[in-house]
Every structure is written in structure tokens, then in C-alpha cells.
């Protein structure tokens, strides 16, 4: 079975655009560039990610909240570095009905500024800390780069977490805790490999002191940034006046973090990294349908067929009763056509129920990822959960093998150029801006490490860096 271990950019792009519409994930025909319609198959998986993440955030003390989508211009503009980073990308509401508004209102590009206005009201004392909130919403950025469905859009779905702490140490610990939660979302739930990089200063979130980014590797050898965690220090608390009374009754500014994964990008990564030439291959935990029952009808009399159909329906009900998200395909097509359709949609397990299965009180369970078939006795149907675990584990392993194969090293410019688009390339940089600019003519610098290395541009001594072509 050909997997998407490495595909040329154009070929991958064709596959991707075809499968996201054919499988019913989204509809790209919405008449605004960079905005799309989420349909059931895509929306379900995003909601599963959201549920997983929200439960984890709330278990460690985050309160759910929901802020308005509109932000007054003076509040968005309060932190100068922050607004400088977003001002070219903001959608502005200027009119209501036929009348101009007194003050223009931004569609939220992110919610630091309006939230921190409220933090200043909510936080009074050290007993109010830590304050952690999260919301799952759409955000809006007028992307001028080429848009790509789920990967770079002008409206995208994410969860944003925001926290305030009494000390820098508490904020740093929160950064580590969130890294752990996002790692579980990406690897445990979605079976995806990733690397966490501390972004170089020029690529930090506007207003942050440190930005950590989660990158995964797409089949065309480019990295995709799927989540970020920012340590904001006291930058925002000083601008928004978020102070608290310490135990000693001193007034101090809080230390803050903000963080968010992009659900659309996570979905794009899961589709692309696990998918194959037949279409989607979905991790069972997020699959809208985890198993599809297909009755295999051979007999010519309707009575015989009805027996098989009843048997298949009974299997369906048994699986649903166990909590499996299960459907049955009773359409008129030939079984082969049905196989093709459900394979394309990525359903992890196909349950075939034919005359021989009925006679032996069993079914055949066929795995989407490997094609492997197993007989399952009706009294052992709960073994599907074990198969789901195996599928997840195998998807994770395969993806990690490919990810490891994409970790490359380049000692000089020539070998760097050769490696770009093949994965994440370790190389060297002298730490001078002029050389960074030259490196970034062909790729992005994901992170600057501590280890010593030789600059790939000028040959001076420098630091090891990680580079890649990025989305």
C-alpha cells in the first residue's frame, strides 16, 4: 500500500485538495477567498480535538469563557509591538446599517488585548492567581500570502489559552504544563510526530518574550506550525495595568502566557501524514465513523438477503451499544464500490457480514491502515477497541519513522540547498543577522540551539540551527 512517505509538492497539493472535498471534510466553494465551509466529516474531528483539549485545560484550572468577536481599535492598539505585528492583517468593521460607527471595530485576530482589559478588572490579589482561561473560537487574519484550505485561511478555528501568574517561575511552569497538554493532543490523540522549537527573536509572537512552536513535517517535506506557546513576561500586564497585591501588600505586575493550537492545521496534518493513495486514514479517536458494517449479499432470494441484513443490523446495534461510532451501508452498490467509498473517507475499520459469517456467528474486520483482516466472533465484538488501539499505535509508529527520516544535517550551503524540502535540516549560523537573512532567502530558521556549529553562509563559528521550508 503506497503511503505518502514523500511526495512532490504539486502532487501532494493535488492529492490534498482533491481528498478534503471528496471525503466531505469541507467545501471550498464559499465566495470569499480564504474562508471555507466546514461539513460534518471535518467539523466532527475538529470538535473531538476541541473536547479533548478543553477537558485537559479545565482539569488544570482553566475556566472556559467567550469574548466578543469585535475589539475596539484603541484596545487592540494598546500594546505597540503587538499591534505592529497584526495591523496589516486586521478586518475592520466600520459601518452598522447605513451609518458609520463612531469607532472602528476589529474582528479578533487573537484575544490578548480584550482579555487583558478584563484581567485588569478580575485580578486584585495574589489569591486571584493563577488566573487561567480558554476559549474555542474562530479568529480572523487577512492573509496576503497564498491561502490554502485548513492551512492558511482568513478565518480559522483554534483554542486560545491565557494565563496570569504571580511570578516568572509560575509562568515558566505553566509554559511547560501547556507544552505537555499540546503534546498529548498532537501525539496521543492525533498520532502525529512533532518537534518543539524556541523561535528566534525575529519570529516571536508580537509582544512575547519567548515563543515555542510545535512543527510537524508534511509529506512534501515542508514543516507546518500547528501550535504555539508564548511567554509574555510582563509586557502586556504593564500596558494593561494588571497588578495584584502580594501577601506583603505590595503591588506587582502579573506574569503572563498565551497559547493556542490551530484546529484546522492539526486536521490538515492528520489527513496528510496518515493518508494514502486511497484517501483518508483516520485515527480512531477522532474518526466521525469508527466502523462501518457492510452486509455482503450473494443469495438471489430476498429472504436470504434479509437474513444477512438483519444480522448486519444486529452487529451495528451491538457495536453502537458498546459506544463505537458505527454506521451501516445498506446502499444498492456492489460491496467493492462501498469499500472504495468508506476507505476514501478513512473509516478505521470495515466490518463485513456475509452468509459464511452469519453461519459461523462471526464477522470479518478489515483495517483501513494496513488492509489486514481478522475474524471476530460475535461474542468478541468488544475486541474492536483493541484493534483501534493497535491502529493508533501503528499510525503513530509509521508517522514517527517517516518523521525521523526527515531529520537531516547539512554542513555547507550546497548540502543545505539539497536537503531543503526534504525535512528539518540542522545546520550552523554565526548569529549575525546578515547571514540569517541569507539563510532565510530559501527556508525558515525554526530554532537556534546551544550546540556549536559552523555558519553555513560565511563559515564562521556559530550555533546549531534548525531550518526547513515551511508552510
Using rule CB under 8 A, residue 324 touches a second copy: no
CB of 461 to a second copy, least distance (A): 41
Helices marked H in 105-166: 112-122
Look at residues 415, 434, 432 and name the one whose alpha carbon lies nearest to residue 423: 415
What torsion, rounded to 10 degrees, do the Cα atoms 471, 448, 207, 86 define? -20
Nearer to a second copy, 85 or 449 (CB): 85
Kind and range of the H or E run holding 447 = strand 444-454
**Contact range with a second copy by CB under 8 A, out of 63-71, 231-239, 365-373, 425-433:** 63-71
Nearer to a second copy, 44 or 340 (CB): 44
CB of 416 to a second copy, least distance (A): 34
Residue 158 · residue 53 · CB < 8 Å:
no
Do β-strands 444-454 and 461-468 pair in parallel, antiparallel, or remain unpaired? Answer: antiparallel
Using rule CB under 8 A, residue 35 touches a second copy: yes
Residue 69: partners with Cβ closer than 8 Å, 6 or more residues away = 107, 108, 137, 138, 140
| From candidates 6, 39, 341, 463, binder to a second copy by CB under 8 A | 39
Number of residues that bind a second copy (CB under 8 A): 48
| CA-derived radius of gyration, the chain | 25
C-alpha distances (whole Å) from 10 to each of 5, 14, 15, 405, 443 are 15, 6, 9, 21, 18
CB of 363 to a second copy, least distance (A): 26
Residue 218 · residue 269 · CB < 8 Å:
yes
Do β-strands 26-27 and 210-217 pair in parallel, antiparallel, or remain unpaired? Answer: unpaired
**Contact range with a second copy by CB under 8 A, out of 58-66, 213-221, 351-359, 433-441:** 58-66
Look at residues 173, 185, 165, 273 and name the one whose alpha carbon lies nearest to residue 223: 273
Look at residues 331, 316, 326, 318 and name the one whose alpha carbon lies nearest to residue 349: 326
Question: What x/- string results for residues 121 through 160 when contact with a second copy is judged by CB under 8 A?
Answer: x----------------x-x-x------------x-x---
Residue 278: partners with Cβ closer than 8 Å, 6 or more residues away = 1, 340, 343, 344
CB of 31 to a second copy, least distance (A): 6
Look at residues 444, 464, 446 and name the one whose alpha carbon lies nearest to residue 455: 464
**Contact range with a second copy by CB under 8 A, out of 34-42, 159-167, 278-286, 368-376:** 34-42
Backbone angles phi, psi at 256, to 5 degrees: -130, 160
CA distance 235 to 230: 12
Using rule CB under 8 A, residue 40 touches a second copy: yes
Q: Is the peptide bond before 130 cis (omega within 30 degrees of 0)?
A: yes
CB of 85 to a second copy, least distance (A): 12
Three-class DSSP category at 100: strand
| From candidates 65, 360, 372, 405, binder to a second copy by CB under 8 A | 65
Look at residues 225, 107, 242 and name the one whose alpha carbon lies nearest to residue 470: 225
Site for a second copy in 1-30 (CB under 8 A): 27, 29-30
CB of 44 to a second copy, least distance (A): 7
Question: What x/- string results for residues 156 through 195 when contact with a second copy is judged by CB under 8 A?
Answer: -x--------------------------------------
Site for a second copy in 68-107 (CB under 8 A): 68-70, 72, 75, 87-98, 104-105, 107
Nearer to a second copy, 118 or 167 (CB): 118
Kind and range of the H or E run holding 157 = strand 155-165
Nearer to a second copy, 158 or 214 (CB): 158
Nearer to a second copy, 87 or 173 (CB): 87
Nearer to a second copy, 30 or 298 (CB): 30
Sign of the Cα torsion 212, 48, 351, 342 reads negative
CB of 35 to a second copy, least distance (A): 4
Using rule CB under 8 A, residue 301 touches a second copy: no
| From candidates 22, 63, 250, 310, binder to a second copy by CB under 8 A | 63
CB of 320 to a second copy, least distance (A): 13
* Residue ranges in contact with a second copy by CB under 8 A: 27, 29-32, 35-40, 43-44, 47, 63-70, 72, 75, 87-98, 104-105, 107, 114, 117-118, 121, 138, 140, 142, 155, 157
Amino acid at each position: 500500500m503506497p503511503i505518502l512517505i514523500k511526495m512532490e509538492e504539486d502532487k501532494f497539493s493535488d492529492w490534498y485538495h482533491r481528498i478534503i472535498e471528496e471525503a466531505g471534510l469541507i467545501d471550498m466553494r464559499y465566495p470569499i477567498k480564504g474562508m471555507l465551509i466546514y461539513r460534518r466529516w471535518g467539523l466532527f474531528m475538529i470538535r473531538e480535538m476541541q473536547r479533548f483539549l478543553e477537558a485537559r485545560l479545565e482539569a488544570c484550572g482553566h475556566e472556559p469563557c467567550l469574548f466578543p468577536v469585535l475589539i475596539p481599535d484603541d484596545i487592540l492598539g494598546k500594546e505597540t509591538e503587538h499591534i505592529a505585528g497584526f495591523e496589516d492583517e486586521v478586518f475592520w468593521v466600520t459601518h452598522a446599517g447605513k451609518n458609520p460607527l463612531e469607532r472602528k471595530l476589529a474582528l479578533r485576530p487573537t484575544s490578548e488585548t480584550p482579555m487583558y482589559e478584563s484581567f485588569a478588572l478580575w485580578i486584585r490579589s495574589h489569591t486571584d492567581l493563577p488566573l487561567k482561561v480558554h476559549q474555542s473560537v474562530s479568529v480572523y487574519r487577512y492573509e496576503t500570502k497564498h491561502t490554502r484550505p485548513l492551512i492558511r485561511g482568513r478565518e480559522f478555528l483554534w483554542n486560545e489559552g491565557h494565563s496570569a501568574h504571580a511570578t516568572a517561575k509560575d509562568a515558566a511552569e505553566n509554559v511547560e504544563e501547556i507544552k505537555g497538554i499540546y503534546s498529548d493532543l498532537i501525539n496521543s490523540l492525533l498520532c502525529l510526530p512533532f518537534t518543539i522549537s524556541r523561535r528566534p527573536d525575529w519570529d516571536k509572537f508580537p509582544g512575547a518574550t519567548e515563543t515555542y512552536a510545535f512543527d510537524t513535517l508534511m509529506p512534501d517535506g515542508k514543516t507546518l506550525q500547528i501550535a504555539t506557546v508564548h511567554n509574555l513576561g510582563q509586557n502586556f500586564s504593564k500596558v494593561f495595568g494588571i497588578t495584584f497585591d502580594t501577601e506583603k501588600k505590595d503591588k506587582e505586575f502579573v506574569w503572563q502566557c498565551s497559547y493556542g493550537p490551530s484546529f484546522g492545521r492539526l486536521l490538515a496534518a492528520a489527513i496528510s501524514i496518515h493518508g494514502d493513495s486511497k484517501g483518508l486514514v483516520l485515527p480512531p479517536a477522532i474518526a466521525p465513523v469508527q466502523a462501518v458494517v457492510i452486509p455482503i449479499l450473494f443469495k438471489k432470494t430476498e429472504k436470504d438477503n434479509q437474513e444477512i441484513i438483519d444480522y448486519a443490523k444486529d452487529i451495528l446495534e451491538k457495536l453502537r451499544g458498546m459506544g463505537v461510532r458505527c454506521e451501516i451501508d445498506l446502499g444498492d452498490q456492489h460491496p467493492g464500490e462501498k469499500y472504495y467509498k468508506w476507505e476514501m473517507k478513512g473509516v478505521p475499520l470495515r466490518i463485513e457480514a456475509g452468509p459464511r459469517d452469519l453461519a459461523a456467528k462471526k464477522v470479518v474486520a478489515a483495517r483501513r491502515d494496513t488492509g489486514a483482516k481478522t475474524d471476530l466472533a460475535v461474542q468478541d465484538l468488544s475486541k474492536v477497541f483493541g484493534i483501534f488501539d493497535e491502529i493508533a499505535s501503528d499510525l503513530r509508529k509509521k508517522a514517527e519513522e517517516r518523521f525521523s527520516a526527515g531529520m537531516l544535517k547539512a554542513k555547507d550551503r550546497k548540502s543545505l540547498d539539497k536537503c531543503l524540502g526534504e525535512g528539518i535540516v540542522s545546520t550552523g549560523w554565526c548569529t549575525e543577522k546578515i547571514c540569517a537573512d541569507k539563510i532565510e532567502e530559501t527556508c525558515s530558521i525554526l530554532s537556534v540551539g546551544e550546540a556549536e556549529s559552523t555558519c553555513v553562509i560565511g563559515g564562521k563559528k556559530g550555533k546549531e540551527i534548525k531550518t526547513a521550508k515551511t508552510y
